[in-house]
Structure 1
Amino acid sequence: MGQAFQQYLKDHRNQHLEQLKEFLKIPSISSLSEHKADVKKAAEWLQHELSLVGMENVQIFETDGHPIVYADWLHADEKPTVLIYGHYDVQPVDPIDLWETPPFEPSIRDEKIFARGASDDKGQVFMHIKAVEALFQTMGRLPVNIKLIIEGEEEIGSPHLPGFVEEYRNLLKADFLVISDTGIIEKGKPSICYGLRGLCGLQIDVKGAKTDLHSGQFGGAVQNAAHALVELLASFHDQDGKVTVEGFYDKVLPLTEEEKKAFLALNTDEEQIREELGVPELFGEKGFNFNERTWVRPTLEINGMASGFQGEGIKTVLPSEAMAKITCRLVPDQDPEEIYNLLVKHIEKHKPKGVTVSVTPFDQGAPFLTPFDHPAIQAAGRAYEKVYGVPTAFTRSGGSIPIVADFDRILGLPVVLMGFGLPNENFHAPNEHFHLENFDKGMETICHYWLDISTLSLR
């Protein structure tokens, strides 16, 4: 059975690549209003393709923004039901002059396909569709029940997806969720990310005098807004980088021994990381290694600051205003709103004299974690190993995908982040590309995964 779908994928590879090129040619840039029709065209392309491969109940759901595509096949009696999520919208292509070939004219060279959306996320969505096709063509049916939800607004923050999931939670009911909008840790080394950090962003504005003041006339007698901001920002950390906000770590879940062993098994070369970054030494909380600091420990980072004279030379003023943008990466079980309130309380407590301080909240997203010993996670690991021939690494990510937490909150589903991209594929940048090695192996992996899942009891 396995050989049948493998042979089918091999025999139809060129055809599949030409079909993928058709999909990639559509400039479905969700953030630009002039491409609204193109985004709709991509949704219609998916609707046609999903119907063609054998999926049922294929629908386009309109939203106040861009449409959502849904399809299912639910005839695998007593077998698990999986919900697959992806997105068909893409990032803008600027700066266009840095592209070696036009971003919406797909080009294959060096066994990579170059185009906007090749890796993020059209290529990975397409792989799921073709895996379904291969199983239908070689088995006549699917080994599990499958539902797909493919949105057109991920690159602008999925503003309408949470409301859709709330409204259609019964339609989307499943045993677990699979998302292929991530990657593997490095070429030839498959990995599964089972946890994401959350996000809490804010802006701090410090206001002193009603206007900038002459430093000779008023310096030493009036608070300098820039000085006040620096003093306030310095209060957030101790000398070792630990966050000093009261209550910040209270709900942080510790690593299990199994997770610690899995992280150590990655043999991360911290000296190589240091050299690649060009820093004299790595820095962070004492008692934690690089992976732990970036995956499972929360952070508070200053992302930007502005105050005073920025031009050439010197202008001897006391700035009347100063601003900083801050984001916190959060881990289970930290709550973004609770952390925001703790930060506001800290800012009020440490507010320097002689200024007023205001705080504005920005993006928030909850952290996410599926236990890495969950059967759906372990089955994904086995599927990777069958195709790639090496053990699967189990990792967490330092980044945030807020919609994952929304799915978890609304549907209560375990989430398997089963990606096939590579870190250096320039998603969101010029010359985005997708390695065809992972295109080929990825579809085989997905097929093996559904066959393995069909033998498990997840209910």
Structure 2
Amino acid sequence: MTRSTVVADAGAYVTGGAFLNEMRERLAIPSESPREDSAPDHLRYLNEQMRPMLEGMGFTCRILPNPKLERVPVMFAERIEDSSQPTILTYGHGDVLWGMAGDWKEDRSPWEATLADERIYGRGAVDNKGQHTINLAALRLVLEARGRLGFNVKVLIEMGEESGSPGLAEIAQDHKDLLAADVLIASDGPRVSTHVPTVFLGARGGHGFHLICELRDGAYHSGNWGGLLPNAGIRLAHALATITDAKGRINIREWTPGAIPANVHAALKNIEMEVGPDDPETDPSWGEPNLTGPEQVYGWCNFEVLAYHCGRPEAPVNAIPGSAKATCQLRYVVGVDRERILPALREHLDANGFQDIRIQPMDRGFFRATRTDPDNAWTRLVVASIKRTTGKEPAVQPNFGGSLPNEVFAETLGMPTIWIPHSHPSCSQHAPDEHMMVSVAKEAAEMMAGLFWDIGEGKLRP
């Protein structure tokens, strides 16, 4: 067997229907991690889908209990061929967000893998069942071709990423030796565009919190009390308006990196963001002034109000509300001190006269910002391999715009992190009609098979 044969077999795995068949079984499991009774579905995914496939490839598998949220366990698997060879850790998550049944076009079910218009629809098609399915299939194809991989592999499949990966950091801390590897190579998130293979080396952080204005219990008639009682909704709206200007530029400078580092800026200059026909129209004047789209999304920070509740929106009455609540989020990059996010907000609100606005941290759902140095041997090998397989120069992002538990691998386990996404910007991730494009899946399988073949040739030592 040759490299070109394995790459061709990987493409045929997608176009010949084997990938779709595997996805039918995996998407049928409604593994929604926010659902309180989801534990049986998580165990079904790990024991009925992951375990047989991995054990068939010579991996030993075990379930690692979650110390923080029992219903979202983690599966660890390993295949050690030679301790003198490099060890790769790969990761995926088998949990999904809510299926949103009834909201999908053409009455599609989120729990059925449906092929239509060269797209595979279903909850988890790209986030993340489809992506780690492709990577594990590529490993299987290389193993079948060579009879060995030529390197060691450890696999971590968690079931709580969509709930903020509770317990994953503790599991990594408690099992550092078990999870030790030379590099993380995994897949999640979207490419920069449909036709451009992408490598990203970290993720923006995500920090969520509530802002609450509680002035009094109950509501009072606006005719009798209007002009006498402060309105909690108005107070909170004005407090929010101090955090950014009218165009979304963040006014709390500790919430920004101050400047984009030169090497990050250089990498982002080569990236063009794809806008699909169904995507919303962007506003170039929104956010930090004088930054391009890639610089805004990958190199800077953004503050969002995710929800706002005041009074009774479903049935408004003529009464002055005594309380209001906003659910907020800061997406931030390396260079922002996570421990200062909420203290800086408190100082900002107090300085602007909003001592009555209370900050309530979220219980979970936090990810730290991380970046791996773009100039390292593993990145160079991955980029060269992808170019060899596809004939395309991949986009290299210092980090991508979303959040992942990358700090677990980059900081707790202390390894370089390389992500190769198999999705595209308009995949409807987290929304109805989530889908993976067959053309992207085919190229992804070919890239990963070529990459694992190249690593097995021994070009990098541990």
Short-chain TM bin: 0.7 to 0.9
Taking a change above 3 Å as real, the CA distance of residues 36 and 71 of structure 1, as seen in their structure-2 partners, is: same
Structure 1 residue aligned with 2:369? 367
Task: Describe how 1:213-362 pairs up with structure 2 within 5 A.
Answer: 213-215=220-222, 217-238=224-245, 241-245=248-252, 247-249=254-256, 252=257, 254-268=259-273, 277-278=280-281, 282-308=285-311, 310=313, 315=318, 317-352=319-354, 356-362=356-362
Indicate the larger mover: 6-15 or 144-153.
6-15
Letter in 1 for 2:35: L
Provide the aligned C-alpha RMSD in A.
3.0
Structure 1 residue 175: deviation in Å?
A: 0.9
Structure 2 residue aligned with 1:56? 59
Count of aligned pairs: 450
Task: Describe how 1:34-433 pairs up with structure 2 within 5 A.
Answer: 34-44=37-47, 45-52=49-56, 54-63=57-66, 64-96=70-102, 98-100=104-106, 101-215=108-222, 217-238=224-245, 241-245=248-252, 247-249=254-256, 252=257, 254-268=259-273, 277-278=280-281, 282-308=285-311, 310=313, 315=318, 317-352=319-354, 356-362=356-362, 363-395=365-397, 396-401=399-404, 403-433=405-435
Structure 1 residue 139: deviation in Å?
A: 1.0
Taking a change above 3 Å as real, the CA distance of residues 48 and 329 of structure 1, as seen in their structure-2 partners, is: same
Runs of 4+ in 1 over 6 A off after TM superposition: 272-275, 311-314
Secondary structure of the structure 2 residue equivalent to 1:348: helix
Taking a change above 3 Å as real, the CA distance of residues 75 and 255 of structure 1, as seen in their structure-2 partners, is: same
Q: Distance in 1 between matches of 2:192 and 2:283?
A: 25
Q: Distance in 1 between matches of 2:127 and 2:109?
A: 17
Indicate the larger mover: 341-350 or 410-419.
341-350
Matched-pair contact (CA < 8 Å) for 1:89–1:151: yes
Matched-pair contact (CA < 8 Å) for 1:76–1:142: no
Matched-pair contact (CA < 8 Å) for 2:6–2:145: yes
Q: Distance in 2 between matches of 1:309 and 1:67?
A: 39
Identity, % of aligned pairs? 24
Secondary structure of the structure 1 residue equivalent to 2:408: helix
Taking a change above 3 Å as real, the CA distance of residues 274 and 220 of structure 1, as seen in their structure-2 partners, is: farther
| Structure 2: runs of 5+ lacking an equivalent | none
Matched-pair contact (CA < 8 Å) for 1:380–1:418: no
Letter in 2 for 1:425: C
Q: Distance in 2 between matches of 1:21 and 1:342?
A: 48
Q: Distance in 2 between matches of 1:248 and 1:159?
A: 24
Matched-pair contact (CA < 8 Å) for 2:212–2:324: yes
Structure 1 residue 308: deviation in Å?
A: 4.3
| Structure 1: runs of 5+ lacking an equivalent | none
Structure 1 residue 86: deviation in Å?
A: 0.4
Secondary structure of the structure 1 residue equivalent to 2:176: coil
Secondary structure of the structure 2 residue equivalent to 1:277: coil
Whose Rg is larger?
1
Deviations 1:26-78 (A, max 9, x none): 333333355533322221121111111x2322223344223322221222453
